[in-house]
Amino acid sequence: MRITDIKTFLVDATPPGGWGGGGRNWLFVKVETDEGIHGLGEASGWPRVIQTAIEDLKTILVGQDPTRIELLWQKMLLGMMGHGMTGVVGAGAMTGVETALWDILGKKLGVPVVDLLGGMCRERVRVYAHAGEPERALRYVEEGYTALKCGGLHTPVKTVRRLRNALPDDVDLCIDVHGPPWFTVPDAIRVGQELEEYDLLFFEDPVPPENIDALAKVSESLSIPVAAGERSSTIYGCRELIEREIVDVLQPDMGRVGGIYQMKKIAAQAEAHHIMMAPHDGSNGPICEAAAVHVMASIPNFLILEHRANDVPWRYEVVTELPVTDGHIEVPRRPGLGIELDEDVARAHPGGTNVAAVTPQNLERMYVEPRARRRRLLER
């Protein structure tokens, strides 16, 4: 079997109401072979730029055996030497292609990807939805979700308190403050201490990701689980978070982690340090989600998977649906990833620019007087 072509589909997946002040794209990847078997992948991070990177990588992949996945990953890595080998663009490009190679291998052998990764530790994967207001949170609980995440960037304590008071005790809560530049280490520690009484599943990205020592200071000062890692790629990018045991929950993004095997390797590293896995999947499309489901079903240290419950209305028209039942996704048992892409639907939603808008209001929040900012952060 040989690779004959690699195609990409840039899809405008901006949900109703926008996405972080800007747009959002999905980048789907299709690897074709001379035996008529094709594989599907998805890349995230900076999809329009990654699309070009994949076109460049295609020159060293066409004609190769798609079942030699590790070898081709190393070829792609070396092929990007001098271009930021494990940065978001490079890792995203490798992820899209590598995921498709696993899909091909599973289809060729007639088995689901999870079986190639050691088999299932679980037959379904727990997911959480997003809700910042009690009304939406209660709707998701009625639909069967057992865990929710809120994004209390400016009033985190108040947001969590309102949700906790409105929801049943057995519903898990977590919060993502997105590591904004105005969240200092003292701010993050104070907020985390205020949140301890609510017994959160995790406190995500309490400070910007550029300074690991700052994150370590926050983690050491809190008794609630700290989560981070969505902007880290490959075993090399996640190594320090794991080896120094800075986080309790690791969150690599399935669209830019480097691929299925990289996610599996990272999970094994984390397992040795008793760190749980909860992959970031919030901006990704359904192919990334399918890949994450297969990997997370195969590892012992899985905690929960992010799921975009309120997305574009045609999400499951473009790719086969993996339904959420009682807050879980069942692991597909069809060969490969167990999904298919409708290329006509993908082409009907061509991608555009997707850089988040930087508004004067956002910039002003970075320079608020520190005491006033902290009062708002700690508001109940």
The domain that holds 50 is classified in CATH as 3.30.390.10
Classify residue 365: in a domain, yes or no: no
pLDDT of 66: 98
pLDDT of 274: 98
d(CA 339, CA 316): 10
State the pLDDT confidence band at 376, using cuts at 50, 70 and 90: confident
Of the three residues 87, 110, 133, the one that is the final residue of a domain is 110
Annotation marks residue 280 as catalytic: yes
Using the predicted structure, report yes or no on whether residue 245 has a pLDDT greater than 80.
yes
- 90 lies in the same domain as 51: yes
Instruction: Please enumerate in sequence order all residues whose Cβ is within 8 A of that of 140, keeping only pairs 6 or more positions apart, or say none.
Output: 129, 131, 148, 309
Which is catalytic among the residues 38, 130, 273, 280? 280
Paired strand residues for 172:
147
Using the predicted structure, report yes or no on whether residue 232 has a pLDDT greater than 70.
yes
Rg (alpha carbons) of the chain, rounded to whole number:
20
- 103 lies in the same domain as 239: no
Classify residue 131: in a domain, yes or no: yes
Classify residue 144: in a domain, yes or no: yes
- 126 lies in the same domain as 99: no
d(CA 257, CA 93): 10
Using the predicted structure, report yes or no on whether residue 230 has a pLDDT greater than 70.
yes
pTM assigned to the model: 0.96
pLDDT tens-digit readout, 135-145: 999 999 999 99
Q: Provide the domain count of the chain.
A: 2
175 and 160 in contact (C-beta within 8 Å)?
yes
41 and 105 in contact (C-beta within 8 Å)?
no
d(CA 207, CA 214): 7
pLDDT above 90 coverage of the chain, percent: 84
- 304 lies in the same domain as 157: yes
322 and 290 in contact (C-beta within 8 Å)?
yes
Using the predicted structure, report yes or no on whether residue 267 has a pLDDT greater than 70.
yes
Instruction: Please enumerate in sequence order all residues whose Cβ is within 8 A of that of 191, keeping only pairs 6 or more positions apart, or say none.
Output: 156, 157, 177, 183, 206, 377, 378
pLDDT tens-digit readout, 326-336: 999 999 999 99
Classify residue 57: in a domain, yes or no: yes
- 93 lies in the same domain as 120: no
Classify residue 343: in a domain, yes or no: no
Average pLDDT for residues 181-208, to the nearest whole number? 95
- 48 lies in the same domain as 154: no
- 73 lies in the same domain as 136: no
pLDDT of 371: 80
Mean pLDDT of the chain: 94
The CA–CA distances, whole Å, from 22 to 14, 345, 352, 357, 359 equal 8, 22, 10, 5, 11
- 256 lies in the same domain as 274: yes
d(CA 85, CA 83): 6
- 92 lies in the same domain as 119: no
Classify residue 349: in a domain, yes or no: no
130 and 282 in contact (C-beta within 8 Å)?
yes
The domain that holds 324 is classified in CATH as 3.20.20.120
Average pLDDT for residues 279-284, to the nearest whole number? 90
Instruction: Please enumerate in sequence order all residues whose Cβ is within 8 A of that of 99, keeping only pairs 6 or more positions apart, or say none.
Output: 29, 39, 40, 41, 42, 259, 260, 287, 288, 291, 337
Average pLDDT for residues 159-187, to the nearest whole number? 94
State the pLDDT confidence band at 28, using cuts at 50, 70 and 90: very high
- 82 lies in the same domain as 137: no
270 and 229 in contact (C-beta within 8 Å)?
no
Annotation marks residue 178 as catalytic: yes
Q: Which of 41-45, 133-137, 166-170, 250-254 has the lowest mean pLDDT?
A: 41-45
pLDDT of 361: 65
Classify residue 254: in a domain, yes or no: yes
State the pLDDT confidence band at 22, using cuts at 50, 70 and 90: confident
Of the three residues 59, 78, 110, the one that is the final residue of a domain is 110
- Which is nearest to 203 in space by CA: 180, 217, 224? 224
Classify residue 27: in a domain, yes or no: yes
- Which is nearest to 10 in space by CA: 62, 50, 53, 61? 50
Average pLDDT for residues 38-55, to the nearest whole number? 94
Which is catalytic among the residues 38, 83, 154, 178? 178
- 103 lies in the same domain as 129: no
- Which is nearest to 217 in space by CA: 184, 250, 180, 169? 184
The CA–CA distances, whole Å, from 207 to 166, 296, 366 equal 28, 26, 13
pLDDT tens-digit readout, 111-127: 999 999 999 999 999 99
Please state the length of the chain. 380
Domain that holds residue 89: 3-110
Average pLDDT for residues 296-301, to the nearest whole number? 98
pLDDT of 76: 96
Amino acid 287 reads: I
Residue 82 or residue 35, greater confidence: 35
- 185 lies in the same domain as 145: yes
The CA–CA distances, whole Å, from 88 to 50, 91, 232, 234 equal 9, 5, 8, 10
Of the three residues 110, 126, 149, the one that is the final residue of a domain is 110
